[in-house]
Structure 1
Amino acid sequence: MTLSRSSAADSTNNSNRSFSAVAGTDHKRKLDDFDASSSTTPDNRHRMKKHEAEPDHMAQQTSVSWRSGENSGFDRSLSSSAACSSSNRPESTRLQIFVRMMSGGKTIVIHADKNDTVEKLHHRIECKTKIPAAQQRLIYKGKQLQNEHSLAYYSIEQDASLHLVARMQSTEHPVAWQTIDDIMYTVSRMYKGEIVRSNINEKLVAFFAMIPPENDHNIANYLEIFSNSSVPAALVMLYASSLERNKSCAKSSVKLFLSSCTALPKIQQNHCLPIVLDFCKLLRKVCPDQKLYITCRNTLGTMLETFDNPGVFNKGNGLTTVGVEIFPFFTELTGLLVNELHQNSGPSFSDFHKLSSFWQHLRKAIEYQVAYPVPIVLPLRNNVLEAEIGHLHRLFGTLLSAMDVCMCRVESTLADKEVGNSEATSSSWSQYLAILKIINSMSNLYRGGKGQLAAMLNKNKASFCTLILKLAKRGDDHQWIFEYKESTNFEARRHLAMLLFPDVKEDFDEMHEMLIDRSNLLAESFEYIAGASSEGLHGGLFMEFKNEEATGPGVLREWFYLVCQEIFNPNNTLFLRSADDFRRFSPNPASKVDPLHPDFFEFTGRVIALALMHKVQVGVLFDRVFFLQLAGMKISLEDIKDTDRIIYNSCKQVLEMDPEYFDANAGLGLTFVLETEELGKRDLIELCVGGKSLAVNSKNRKLYVDLLIERRFATPIVEQVKQFSRGFNHMLSDSAPPRSFFKRLYLEDLDGMLRGGENAISIDDWKAHTEYNGFKETDRQIDWFWKILKKMTEEEQRNILFFWTSNKFVPVEGFRGLSSKLYIYRLYEANDHLPMSHTCFYRLCIPKYPSISLMEQRLRLIAQDHVSSSFGKW
């Protein structure tokens, strides 16, 4: 490899380019590139700027030809017709010397003769730098040169690197400069094939020990010394050496640097990242399949997790987009991921986590750099990331297709329950949900991308829901899933909503204890719950009724049911029943007259959240308008259909009436006002400024209906909703955003969680989930029991279930959704004894009744509401 240079200054600039060009050379040519760059010695190469030409006329037309020699040594042939014709000295005494100024890091090129004195050299330096010779100190191999000696006296060689120490008061970090120079000098000698005793790792450790722990400016300066001295390129080229000892030394040093970077505090790692990126780019060219490159790439991914920048970082005199720099690594990892998905091996958590880190910064870079609105319409023209964005779109399609195959594989595996529940199968799926999250993020960039992903998820709905149930964990970000709610089922949505609650610890020592008098249930419950801290309630609840023997989960389930019946009792004026569905409730606007009611709404929010946390169906349903406000959603006309059918029909008529007829009849005499009645007092409220005098017509009637709905259904209960939400949110994890619980659900989902299934109780399902102790399934008493139960009304059946389990409502999944199977135990008491129950363990104890009539009489007695709702001895 030959470089021709017209001057010493050009020689310096070319040498700078050749060394750093390692990232762009062919792998087979890396040694030649290193030879060319080494001509200026490694320690000067990267920071050289454009220098002034050497004033000595002998240097003006120098031509230098270098080639790589055996054993990685350097053979040099210098020829200069101009120099020879103008000098009587032998060519072998002619020297080119690189002088680095410790202040500012600038390097200059000086030509001299071996027989020149150091004093003469000082004067040549003064001509170039304007630094008085008297203030100069020249250092070579750790020794200061004395003016009276010649350069030959100090054995100064061709291309030697000298350090100019001047005006020390303005020099920053001279020890660090010297340490890095020593590293570069050692690397240069090793590459030439010399055996050196100097230890690069010791110098690296010393260098990192110099970095101050807190000062951000100084940290950047130290790492800039490392980068500007081209240490990364030098170590990578040493690693590419044919000598095994060089390769081993470089490998150890690179690993030491990487581990030293990750050991720094997070804020300091930001300054290391550009250097690690340089290592990655260089190693990718030299050894893309070797472990050192993979280690470096993984380190880069780890550091990117905490790299908080706006998408660019300083490099040289300009700005480099992080996305452009890391795109090749993201492409590489994506290719590996696709191969693993097709092989059904599943990516490791570590590898996928690195891919995710690269993607986050690549996405930020695209958003930062692309001036076009997102989603992007391809093809994209005249953009710095044009090629990357086009290639990324192809990667999106490849990943989407690979995941489609995987989702189909999941569904076929689910058919084989034994295989589907195996640990090995779940392990191969472990990153599927996280991969879908990245695909969703990629889909946001391109027009039509979200539609493609939605179609794939709808096609594989069963698999998608299975992945959610198996893989979605507390603390993860699942918000993206709710863009595809139509691709989920009730169980998946319920699971995601419940992840917002902390785990119920149920540690006896940390439980919040309550002793409640049934005769003063609501007031005493309010004192216990409203006055407790949210952390205390997260520890679990220990519930006991005064003058009753029972304790445990069954008593707690009964308390939840009873206190909710009291809270939502219309006689307490907190809530109103919906006009068309008496099972549904919404806050009573008139409740604001009681100064304690805001506290009671916050208490209610806590109770409902606790009931959901403990998975207790309390039999209460929320009105749609109330639910939508809790979710922070706007109320439409269709939303009030089941709340107030009269207003719904009237508004529907206004909107659907023929425009000409409507206007001809003066808008039916309507104006922008609402007539209200509260506590017997009637009032007219303007829906907008000047509403009393603003007539409704065909053009503004839609606005009229919207304002009417907002003012009639939303505005009157804003404060009650706010207080309820506050209490509810107290029970959620600290990281859960407000309203997030209700946004994850449909109203029908919340119905199922609060009340259970809509269908009548199935006696066959009940029987299928019941086991026996002391009885056999074929005993006549068991046959009588189920026959009597089938004859009862649904309310009587629910009372029997409540007596048995403290659950009055069956979960959406039926009896399999209960936390335990049900049991019928034989009671070894008198054969006319009333049944007993252990609600905590779902046990019903009955004697061996001699006749079906006696059993029916005893069962109907406990089916009465006032009997089924208490504990104690009978």
Structure 2
Amino acid sequence: MSLFPSPAVDQFPNGYDHRLSSKRKFDDYALAIGDEQDDETPLVPVRMRKDDPRHHVHHPVTTVDPSSKAPVFSFPASHVDSRPSSSASCSSTRLQFFIRMFSQGNTMVVTANPEDTVKSLHERIYVMTGVPVMEQRLIYRGKQLQLEQSLADCDIQNDASLQLVGRMRSTDHPQTWQVMDDMVSLICRLCRGEMVHSPSKSIKDCLNKFFTITPKDNNEAVHAHLQIFMASSAHAALVMLYMSPVTGNKQCADSSIRHFLTSCRSALSKELHSYCIPIVLEFCSLLRNVVNEDSLYTSCRSTLGMLLESFSGSLALMLPKVEGLITMKDIFPFISELAGHLTAELDSSLDSTTSGGPLSSDVRDFTAFLNPLRSIFEHLCSRVPVSADWKKKDYYHPREMEFLHAIFNDLLYKMEKCLIRVEESFAATGSGEDEFFHLGWSQYLSILKELNGISKLYQGAEEQFWMVLRNRRSSLCALIIRFTRQNDDHQWLLEHKDVTDFESRRHLAMMMFPEVKEDYEELHEMLIDRSHLLAESFEYIARVDPESLHAGLFMEFKNEEATGPGVLREWFFLVCQDIFNPENALFVPCTNDRRRFFPNPASRVDPLHLEYFSFAGRVIALALMHKVQVGIVFDRVFFLQLAGMDISLEDIQEADPCLYSSCKKILEMDAEFVDSDALGLTFVREVEELGSRRVVELCPDGKNIAVNSSNRQEYVNLLIHDRFITSISEQVDYFSRGFSHILSNSRLQKFFFKSLELVDLDWMLYGSESPICVEDWKAHTEYNGYRESDPQITWFWEIVKEMSAEQRKELLFFWTSVKYLPVEGFRGLASRLCIYKSTEPCENLPSSHTCFYRICFPPYPSMGEMRKRLNFITQEHVGCSFGTW
């Protein structure tokens, strides 16, 4: 049952429909293309900022004829310069034409004789403006007029319009202006259908030259050059080329715009990418307005998202009311558009007859646009969730906040339905195998991750979000196990462990380790003498660069032929037994549970004890990475410290039951009795180390502070802190460092343990605590050379059933180098087990190939003979390293 209704599209705030919202008029953009004046076309002003270079160089305005998608070019209204030309007087043969000036946005009416030269026009312009002739260029029909040409040679018509492209003396970067003007002129010619040799290459050459001359080490200079790109209307010219009906122009523009998008990220360093954002935003706005969504628009949108996502500067870039900067309103249309796509794609994935679902590109772009937006809201709201009556408050963007909340509700409603669909499919098939899943579900977790981020912005939304996941826990866990990958961000999934189960938490935790390689050349090789197992293992593991351990390990014992994964599993088991052996003084077992260990406060008897703790951390992490159960588990106080969490009185119950009982009694005693000082306690603790006792003060002057009813809780807290934190803080720290060396990201060490429950780690390190089930063992065993009905196989399983629990463990260890099964039992092993029929004489003992979980024995003539051989190999001192490979 849904927790909330699905909002209809028309409930979104006006102006943000993803199909129509916030579209900039194509006539807002300038394009330096000359054309005849069309008196029927409405004149519109060019949108500029005060610091826009277009105040220095002006261009004709591009407008769109409502009846056609074809662009119409016109000029803004201006006062007309009516001064006479240099010729004596006007005659019927004289020409009258318009020159759009760069100064003050004026358009000048000029009269001249057809035989007058272009140079004479430039000289007249020089008299009027003061701009030298050599800094002027006149453009007519996309071509630059040459000085020596006459007006007749240029085919100047009556009432024609010419574009003056010039630069004020104060204009910077003339070379960049030249490159952009050349590119725009070339595009004009292409739009008019003129033949140009290798047009795509010529435009790309201009773009390459533009990025080449753009400085890479001066932010202000980079900004100025990219402003020139905008001011020259190069972006609008390229879009106009894309819309051109002339054959070949669309493909030319497509490849040129994509070349610019690529160059933004490849030619400029990451910290300069933000300066390209306004240009790519203009590309998106122009393309979205004049074409249905196509691959070029999608590429522009994706690039814009990536530029926004990689921007690491001040949030001021995104804030409103800052002149000349991108605003929140510029981003919202894309979020609306992408949210609409995701909604439709989620609906598609609900259809059981299709394998549709959200596209990874849409999810990626949605994330890219959402991240900066969410950062702004967090900044504006001082990271405090918006209350229910936020609409009444004076927030900067109430409309946008309302819209984002509507998107959250809509997508969460859809996601809940999708999770129900996953659950139903899972129940119908009764299988968790890969064929149960289809790729349409692969983006569900990514969408949920973004909804989790949005939920933190609104009061009540976070509880709403996690309630949905709690109700759909089984489908969520199935998706986690199937679709999470090594480099994904999993941390958000573990914020609320009640929405996950052991398998999904284990899966996510294992993603924090590097992936074990299968190439033996990349593995860290070890050759170890069994008689010096701990010392030599320490040298191989503790003394090397952690990076060399990330690919995996290759293990071999000296003077033994056996190699491979089975030998490695045996080494892990044996070295962990030594590390946690109390005789080595590194760890001590809990009184009530001898499987559990925590660091020994007296470990300093060995000068290398801290290095050994770092070594121990590496070994445990490597065992987890290789998925080997080592039969060792941590006490709660040790586990909590590794997770960076506080320790309470209840947490010490297993580690020190006597201290736990004493503290409980002190806290529960009658207050008057405690205040009578009958206990005779002060803020000190007696410590026994190496046969001697010493007194430790729990606080300054603690020996003179009596414990009473008002301070007894503080006394207990300080006692626990000194006993389980202060006394072993160095040991825990070095173990943590060693463990972190093996993780893909060392900073995740505390989070690794925090993401698990203690029982999760128990199952990962120790495995199943249940006795080995012979029926499960038999169900996961295959035969080679034997048949299940053969007497030797029947005898074998009857003998195994007669064995003690410890004998079964020894047999399993001999067979597989696995002494402790995974928590799933035999199903959790890397492969099925196999019994091979050997051709050895019947007097021989069984042999094993532990790497392949294979045991071999000849067809013994009787059950008694087989029992004798199996009983021999299940003796602990015999079973170790009996396998061959």
Question: 285, 293, 297: which one pairs with 2:297?
Answer: 293
Counterpart-to-counterpart distance in 2, 1:795 and 1:41? 84
Residues 753, 228 of structure 1: alpha-carbon distance in 2 compared, 3 angstrom cutoff: same
Counterpart-to-counterpart distance in 1, 2:179 and 2:813? 80
Residues 108, 712 of structure 1: alpha-carbon distance in 2 compared, 3 angstrom cutoff: same
Q: Which moved more, 1:67-76 or 1:848-857?
A: 67-76
Tell me the residue number matched to 1:55: none
Tell me the residue number matched to 2:339: 334
Q: Is the counterpart of residue 650 in structure 1 residue 658 in structure 2? A: no
Using the aligned pairs only, state the percent identity: 46
Look up the equivalent residue of 2:775 and give its one-letter code.
Answer: D
Query: How far off is 1:594 after superposition?
Result: 1.7
Tell me the residue number matched to 2:871: 860
Tell me the residue number matched to 2:607: 595
Contact 2:43 2:76 (C-alpha < 8 Å) held by counterparts: no
Contact 1:323 1:366 (C-alpha < 8 Å) held by counterparts: no
Counterpart-to-counterpart distance in 2, 1:68 and 1:368? 42
What's the TM-score, normalizing by structure 1? 0.82
Q: Is the counterpart of residue 432 in structure 1 residue 444 in structure 2? A: yes
Query: How far off is 1:810 after superposition?
Result: 1.1
Tell me the residue number matched to 1:675: 686
Look up the equivalent residue of 1:270 and give its one-letter code.
Answer: S
Query: How far off is 1:589 after superposition?
Result: 0.9
Question: 369, 375, 397: which one pairs with 1:385?
Answer: 397
Gaps of 5+ in 1: 1-17, 24-30, 52-65, 101-105, 126-130
Q: Is the counterpart of residue 374 in structure 1 residue 385 in structure 2? A: yes
Query: How far off is 1:712 after superposition?
Result: 0.8
Query: How far off is 1:47 after superposition?
Result: 5.2
Question: 348, 370, 389: which one pairs with 1:359?
Answer: 370
Residues 834, 73 of structure 1: alpha-carbon distance in 2 compared, 3 angstrom cutoff: closer
Counterpart-to-counterpart distance in 2, 1:38 and 1:197? 32
Counterpart-to-counterpart distance in 2, 1:812 and 1:509? 32
Q: Which moved more, 1:70-79 or 1:156-165?
A: 70-79
Cα-to-partner distance string for 1:648-698 (whole Å, 9 max, x where unaligned): 22223333446x546654595443322222222222222222323334444
Query: How far off is 1:332 after superposition?
Result: 0.7
Counterpart-to-counterpart distance in 2, 1:318 and 1:79? 26
Question: 807, 815, 833: which one pairs with 1:804?
Answer: 815
Counterpart-to-counterpart distance in 1, 2:567 and 2:80? 106
Q: Is the counterpart of residue 503 in structure 1 residue 515 in structure 2? A: yes
Q: Whose relative contact order is higher, 1 or 2, with alpha carbons under 8 Å and at least 6 apart?
A: 2
Q: Residues 184-333 of structure 1 correspond to what in structure 2 (within 5 A)?
A: 202=202, 205-211=205-211, 212=213, 214-216=216-218, 217-233=220-236, 236=239, 254=257, 257-267=260-270, 268-313=272-317, 318=323, 320-333=325-338
Question: 35, 38, 42: which one pairs with 1:36?
Answer: 42
Contact 2:850 2:883 (C-alpha < 8 Å) held by counterparts: no
Tell me the residue number matched to 2:34: none
Residues 753, 34 of structure 1: alpha-carbon distance in 2 compared, 3 angstrom cutoff: farther
Look up the equivalent residue of 2:268 and give its one-letter code.
Answer: P
Query: How far off is 1:731 after superposition?
Result: 2.1
Query: How far off is 1:757 after superposition?
Result: 0.7
Contact 1:771 1:823 (C-alpha < 8 Å) held by counterparts: yes
Query: How far off is 1:347 after superposition?
Result: 2.1
Query: How far off is 1:709 after superposition?
Result: 1.3
Q: What secondary structure, in the 3-state scheme, does the structure 2 residue paired with 1:589 have?
A: coil
Q: Is the counterpart of residue 705 in structure 1 residue 705 in structure 2? A: no
Query: How far off is 1:244 after superposition?
Result: 8.5
Q: Residues 51-62 of structure 1 correspond to what in structure 2 (within 5 A)?
A: none
Query: How far off is 1:793 after superposition?
Result: 2.1
Residues 793, 661 of structure 1: alpha-carbon distance in 2 compared, 3 angstrom cutoff: farther
Residues 118, 32 of structure 1: alpha-carbon distance in 2 compared, 3 angstrom cutoff: closer
Look up the equivalent residue of 2:164 and give its one-letter code.
Answer: L
Residues 772, 182 of structure 1: alpha-carbon distance in 2 compared, 3 angstrom cutoff: closer
Query: How far off is 1:507 after superposition?
Result: 2.7
Q: What secondary structure, in the 3-state scheme, does the structure 2 residue paired with 1:36 have?
A: coil
Residues 705, 685 of structure 1: alpha-carbon distance in 2 compared, 3 angstrom cutoff: same
Contact 2:26 2:286 (C-alpha < 8 Å) held by counterparts: no
Look up the equivalent residue of 2:173 and give its one-letter code.
Answer: H
Tell me the residue number matched to 2:582: 570
Counterpart-to-counterpart distance in 2, 1:74 and 1:182? 19
Query: How far off is 1:164 after superposition?
Result: 5.0
Counterpart-to-counterpart distance in 2, 1:67 and 1:510? 66
Cα-to-partner distance string for 1:194-237 (whole Å, 9 max, x where unaligned): 65567986456425413325244433222101212444456556
Q: What secondary structure, in the 3-state scheme, does the structure 2 residue paired with 1:737 have?
A: helix
Q: Residues 337-352 of structure 1 correspond to what in structure 2 (within 5 A)?
A: 337-344=342-349, 345-352=356-363
Q: What secondary structure, in the 3-state scheme, does the structure 2 residue paired with 1:494 have?
A: helix
Tell me the residue number matched to 1:172: 172
Q: What secondary structure, in the 3-state scheme, does the structure 2 residue paired with 1:318 have?
A: coil
Gaps of 5+ in 2: 1-23, 30-36, 58-63, 84-88, 113-119, 350-355
Q: Which moved more, 1:242-251 or 1:697-706?
A: 242-251
Contact 1:313 1:319 (C-alpha < 8 Å) held by counterparts: no
Counterpart-to-counterpart distance in 2, 1:482 and 1:611? 22
Counterpart-to-counterpart distance in 1, 2:65 and 2:552? 78
Q: Is the counterpart of residue 450 in structure 1 residue 462 in structure 2? A: yes
Q: CA RMSD in A?
A: 4.4
Q: What secondary structure, in the 3-state scheme, does the structure 2 residue paired with 1:751 have?
A: helix
Q: Is the counterpart of residue 114 in structure 1 residue 111 in structure 2? A: yes
Residues 452, 68 of structure 1: alpha-carbon distance in 2 compared, 3 angstrom cutoff: closer
* Structure with greater helix percent: 1
Counterpart-to-counterpart distance in 2, 1:183 and 1:515? 67
Counterpart-to-counterpart distance in 1, 2:67 and 2:513? 70
Tell me the residue number matched to 2:138: 140
Q: What secondary structure, in the 3-state scheme, does the structure 2 residue paired with 1:812 have?
A: coil
Residues 478, 629 of structure 1: alpha-carbon distance in 2 compared, 3 angstrom cutoff: same
Question: 625, 637, 643: which one pairs with 1:625?
Answer: 637
Counterpart-to-counterpart distance in 1, 2:277 and 2:848? 66
Residues 218, 848 of structure 1: alpha-carbon distance in 2 compared, 3 angstrom cutoff: same
Residues 819, 113 of structure 1: alpha-carbon distance in 2 compared, 3 angstrom cutoff: closer
Residues 163, 871 of structure 1: alpha-carbon distance in 2 compared, 3 angstrom cutoff: closer
Counterpart-to-counterpart distance in 1, 2:305 and 2:617? 43
Query: How far off is 1:570 after superposition?
Result: 0.9
Look up the equivalent residue of 1:36 and give its one-letter code.
Answer: P
Q: Which moved more, 1:829-838 or 1:216-225?
A: 829-838
Tell me the residue number matched to 1:814: 825
